[in-house]
Chains A and B, each alone.
Chain A
Amino acid sequence: MMLPGTIYLLINNYLPMFGTLIAFKSVDWSKGILHSPWVGFDNFKFLFRTSDAWTITRNTLLYNALFITITPIIAVSFAILLNELRSRLAARFFQSVMFLPYFLSAVVVGYLGYSMLSTEFGFINTHVLEPLGFDAIAWYSEPKYWPYILPIVYIWKNIGYSTVIYLAAVIGIDNEYYEAALMDGASKWRQAISITLPQIRPIIIILALMAVGHILNADFGLFYQVPLDAGALYPTTNVIDTYVYRALLTLGDVGMSSAAGLYQSAVGLVLVLTVNLIVRKINKENALF
């Protein structure tokens, strides 16, 4: 029974892990990958000498750090507020609407972004900035705006998903806690801080842990499709994933590309283990493994 799944994992996940050895080789197609000469850490030296390495690492880390912090804050607030709404029907309706963007592919989100941001015809330039008397902004050639645009798009697309998870946790909290709080005269605010948050802390921690482990893995679709692959925006939109892709398929630089990929996976693994260890020290219950 385990056979099909095991074979698939071997091919799809474990073979490429051994394949990371390419990062230490100088690939010569005439000799084949296995017989290509070993070059130690040359590919890595190469990678870290370029200014790109610094840019893509910085972008990946900062964007992901921002996503990891704001997602739980917004999603938990939304979940608590939705749970407090007097009408179940309304709460359910809002939840459904918020969840819709999660179903749209990155390509579609790229289109939606274009309809808002297109320099000549976009909704923002023609219906927001011009009526207010501002000049139109060339969104797709100005890197400085993207550190704001990308997080907004990310939240817009993913917040419904996170809210659903937290809402399930909030609904699951035993009502007796709130009854006791009510007897003691706790305000709503106090109840949220002293009961709701501590009760859902484990799930927040687990999700954050998973996210921290992937802090060098950016959402490829978001960073590739939404800026429409515009070269002018690379300083603020190029992340490790998009860099690896471009190095492999547009530059054909196998060594550099696989070095960047291994750097990404290795740091991720170390981070998962470290963060998990710290959480274990503080509270064994909340650790992942």
Chain B
Amino acid sequence: MNTATANAPSRAEGFSKPAVKRINAISPSTNLIVTLFFIVYSCVCLLPVLLVIAASLSDENAITLHGYSLIPKVWSTSAYHYLMFDLHKILAGYGISIASTVIGSLSGMMITALYAYPLSRMDFDFRGFFSFFIFFTMVFGGGLVPTYLIYTNYFHLKDTLLALIIPGLLMNAFLVLTTRTFFQQTIHPSILESAQIDGAGEFRIFFGIVLPLSLPVMATIGLFYTLAYWNDWFNSLVYINNDNMVNLQYMMYRVMRNLQFLQSHAQSNTTVGAEEIAKMPNETVRMAMCIVGMGPIVLAYPFFQRYFVAGLTVGAVKG
């Protein structure tokens, strides 16, 4: 982004600018200053990410001598070779993450839509009660201890895949209210009425008419759930003791604390001798692990963020 584009006449993207808006525009010099400011801030946003990418592609000795730098002093991909030794473990982590994300997001979307739809119907008798029922969960909660005890002692979720899916993540009150608002604004009661007159049942109306009309909002909440599941490490931390059942984020967390976490199972793997482990490049392998875990989100980001912005701007929700 250079200033030449910033000073070009504004294109009519999104919404057209009337003449007044142009007269009212800031002066080119002010525009330059503001643009420069945002360029600097964007660099601040990206700097740590670039630093980690550079570190993972750097030679360990160069880091020991000069510290992390934005451009590797000595290029090397050895960190990734070391990670290859633990490929089966990393892939297992990926598998757990993908499974919980897919199952969790789809179930979450379904439950959210099913709960939000009756709330959007003005002729639903218990609307007030169910609205409050979900709103109250936003302002008061039991806290970690009772939640933990209920899930472990009564539902025995410890060390199961469900523990990564159910506690706390499956239904987000804010998203339910967002979905409800969308239903209210876009689905005209007259459509529903005509369907009823044609003899369609409530479920038929919901799956046949309401859901197909609501693809934008479903895509948005689906992304929110996907992100929440993919980035979650807390449920692994609390509910999973078995190291073979943890997701990718938790694996990264353990590697940060102790690099041996990956090799705890590699000991039996004869391809890696003890002396190999001793000269393992700590700093760079850590950073390579970070890249391996961060990759999917950063790559998916450009495609995701448009929907995210659309979802966020559905408007303020009033209970």
Interface residues of A (CB under 8 A from B): 1-2, 4-6, 8-9, 11-20, 22, 33, 81-82, 84-90, 92-101, 103-108, 110-116, 118, 120-123, 125-127, 156, 160-161, 164-165, 168, 171, 175, 178-179, 182, 188, 191, 202-203, 206, 213, 220-221, 225, 228-229, 241, 244-245, 248-249, 254, 257-258, 260-262, 264-265, 268-269, 272, 288-289
- Give chain B interface residues in 32-55, CB to chain A under 8 Å: 34-35, 37-39, 41-42, 44-46, 48-49, 51-52, 55
Q: Give bound CA distance, A260 to B142, whole Å.
A: 11
Please indicate the chain A residues that have their CB under 8 angstroms from the CB of B147 in the complex: 12, 16, 19
Q: Are A111 and B68 in contact (CB under 8 A)?
A: no
Q: At the interface, is chain A mostly helix, strand, loop or mixed?
A: helix
Q: Are A127 and B67 in contact (CB under 8 A)?
A: yes
Q: At the interface, is chain B mostly helix, strand, loop or mixed?
A: helix
Assuming A12-B147, A107-B233, is B142 touching A1 (CB within 8 A)?
no
Closest to A23 in B: B145
Selected contact of A12 from candidates B42, B168, B234, B304, CB within 8 Å: B168
Selected contact of B176 from candidates A5, A89, A106, CB within 8 Å: A5
Binds A, one of B23-31, B77-85, B264-272: B23-31
Closest to A203 in B: B316
Selected contact of B6 from candidates A17, A86, A111, A115, CB within 8 Å: A86
Assuming A90-B5, A97-B45, A111-B52, is B257 touching A13 (CB within 8 A)?
no
Q: Are B115 and A2 in contact (CB under 8 A)?
A: yes
Please indicate the chain A residues that have their CB under 8 angstroms from the CB of B313 in the complex: 164-165, 168
Q: Give bound CA distance, A19 to B75, whole Å.
A: 55
CB distance from A74 to the nearest CB of B (A): 10
Cβ-based interface call for B294 (8 A): yes
Q: Give bound CA distance, A236 to B203, whole Å.
A: 53
Cβ-based interface call for B178 (8 A): no
Please indicate the chain B residues that have their CB under 8 angstroms from the CB of A120 in the complex: 64, 67
Q: Scan B287-303; emit 1 where CB is below 8 A from any A CB, else 0.
A: 10010011001100110
Q: Are B130 and A6 in contact (CB under 8 A)?
A: yes
Please indicate the chain A residues that have their CB under 8 angstroms from the CB of B52 in the complex: 111-112, 115
Q: Give bound CA distance, A114 to B7, whole Å.
A: 39
Assuming A99-B308, A111-B286, A156-B45, is B143 touching A1 (CB within 8 A)?
no
Please indicate the chain B residues that have their CB under 8 angstroms from the CB of A164 in the complex: 308-309, 312-313
Cβ-based interface call for B227 (8 A): yes
- Give chain B interface residues in 51-78, CB to chain A under 8 Å: 51-52, 55, 63-64, 66-70
Give chain B's interface residue range (CB within 8 Å of chain A).
Answer: 35 or more
Q: Are B42 and A97 in contact (CB under 8 A)?
A: yes
Q: Are A1 and B117 in contact (CB under 8 A)?
A: yes
Q: Give bound CA distance, A269 to B257, whole Å.
A: 36
Assuming A22-B145, A107-B253, is B297 touching A121 (CB within 8 A)?
no
Please indicate the chain A residues that have their CB under 8 angstroms from the CB of B142 in the complex: 13, 15-20, 261, 265
Please indicate the chain A residues that have their CB under 8 angstroms from the CB of B48 in the complex: 112-113, 115-116
Please indicate the chain B residues that have their CB under 8 angstroms from the CB of A254 in the complex: 145, 149
Q: Are B150 and A261 in contact (CB under 8 A)?
A: no
Assuming A9-B133, A97-B45, is B145 touching A288 (CB within 8 A)?
no
CB distance from B184 to the nearest CB of A (A): 16
Q: Are B137 and A9 in contact (CB under 8 A)?
A: yes
Q: Are A86 and B44 in contact (CB under 8 A)?
A: no
CB distance from B234 to the nearest CB of A (A): 7
Q: Scan B226-241; emit 1 where CB is below 8 A from any A CB, else 0.
A: 0100111110001000
Please indicate the chain A residues that have their CB under 8 angstroms from the CB of B9 in the complex: 86
Q: Give bound CA distance, A229 to B148, whole Å.
A: 21
**What 6 pairs across the A-B complex have the smallest Cβ distances?**
A19-B146, A16-B142, A126-B67, A261-B143, A5-B115, A105-B231
